[in-house]
Amino acid sequence: MYIIVIAWLYVVILMAATEKSIAAGLLTFTFYGLVPCALLLWILGAKHRRHYRNKQLLEQDVRQPDSSDTQADQ
């Protein structure tokens, strides 16, 4: 996934370098490079974020047993 982002940013840097002004180059890099790559990484990272959040919740449940379990034993 990262190789695609690196390759796309390389292409966009070359596109931005050929612009007539620095402002046009920065806008090209921002709107053709950074914004789409950030969106792509955010969308493709959703599965990883969900897995990480579920793992944290599971570890938290293991560390703190449910209070209803202790009341049922009494």
What own/partner pairs with CB < 8 Å and gap ≥ 24 does 4-10 have?
4/40, 5/37, 5/40, 5/41, 8/33, 8/36, 8/37, 9/33, 9/37
Domain ranges of the chain: 2-61
Torsion of CA 52, 7, 16, 34, to 10 degrees: -10
pLDDT tens, residue by residue, 54-73: 888 888 878 876 666 556 55
Q: What is the pLDDT of residue 66?
A: 62
pTM of the model: 0.64
> How does 60-73 read in b/e, with b if 16+ C-beta sit within 10 Å?
eeeeeeeeeeeeee
Tens-digit pLDDT profile for residues 6-16: 999 999 999 99
